[in-house]
Amino acid sequence: MDLGIAGKVALVTGGSRGLGKVAALSLAREGVDVAICGRTQATLDDATAELEALGVRAQGVVADVSDAAAMPALHRQVVDGLGAVDILVNNAGGSRARADIADLPLDDFKAAFDLNLFGGFQLMREVLPHMREQRWGRIINIASIYGREHGGNLSYMSAKAALIGATKHAALSLVTEGVLVNSIAPGSISHPEGSWERFQSDNPPEVVEDFISRNLPMGKFGWPEPVGDLVAFLASERANLITGACIVVDGGQGHSMI
What are 80-125's pLDDT values in tens digits?
A: 999 999 999 999 999 878 899 999 999 999 999 999 999 999 999 9
What whole-number distance in Å separates Cα of residue 64 and Cα of residue 71? Answer: 8
| Opening angle at CA 174, ends 238 and 163, nearest 5 | 90
Is the whole model's pTM more than 0.85, yes or no? yes
Within 8 A by CB and 6+ apart from 180, the residues are 137, 138, 139, 171, 174, 234, 239, 240, 242, 243
The b-or-e profile of 103-119 (16+ CB within 10 A means b, else e) is: ebeeebbebbbbbbbbb
Name all domains of the chain by residue range, CATH numbers in brackets: 9-187+225-247 (3.40.50.720), 191-221 (no CATH)
Amino acid identity at 96: R
Q: What are phi and psi of 90, to 5 degrees?
A: -85, 95
In the structure, what pLDDT confidence band is assigned to residue 253 with cuts at 50, 70 and 90?
very high
Average pLDDT over residues 228-249: 98
pLDDT value of position 102:
95
In the structure, what pLDDT confidence band is assigned to residue 223 with cuts at 50, 70 and 90?
very high
pLDDT value of position 192:
78
Amino acid identity at 150: H
Q: Which of 121, 156, 221, 233 is catalytic?
A: 156
Q: Looking at the predicted structure, is the pLDDT value of residue 233 above 90?
A: yes
pLDDT value of position 114:
97
In the structure, what pLDDT confidence band is assigned to residue 205 with cuts at 50, 70 and 90?
confident
**Angle between the 195-202 and 205-215 helix axes, to the nearest 10 degrees?**
130
Question: For the segment 178-190, what is each residue's pLDDT rounded down to a tens digit?
Answer: 999 999 999 999 8
pLDDT value of position 207:
77
146 is catalytic: no
pLDDT value of position 258:
80
For residue 28, give the DSSP letter.
Answer: H
Q: How far is CA 156 from CA 33, 92, 93, 123, 144, in A?
A: 31, 12, 9, 20, 9
pLDDT value of position 98:
86
Judged by average pLDDT, the poorest of 96-100, 103-107, 223-227, 236-240 is 96-100
Average pLDDT over residues 38-63: 97
Q: How far is CA 233 from CA 11, 29, 94, 99, 156, in A?
A: 15, 12, 24, 37, 26
